[in-house]
Amino acid sequence: MKLIITVVQDQDAPHLLEKLLGGGYRATRLATTGGFLRQGNTTLLVGAEDENVDEVLHLIEETCSSRQQTVTPWVPLGGSVDSYVPYPMEVTVGGATVFVLAVEDFRKL
Q: What is the pLDDT of residue 73?
A: 63
Name the fold adopted by 2-102.
Answer: Alpha-Beta Plaits (3.30.70)
- Ordered per-residue pLDDT tens for the chain, 109 residues: 999 999 998 888 999 999 999 999 999 999 887 665 566 789 999 999 999 999 999 999 999 887 776 766 665 555 555 555 567 777 666 688 999 999 999 888 8
Cα(40)–Cα(107) distance, integer angstroms = 31
Q: What is the pLDDT of residue 4?
A: 97
pTM: 0.75
Q: What is the pLDDT of residue 105?
A: 92
Cα(103)–Cα(101) distance, integer angstroms = 6
Domain ranges of the chain: 2-102
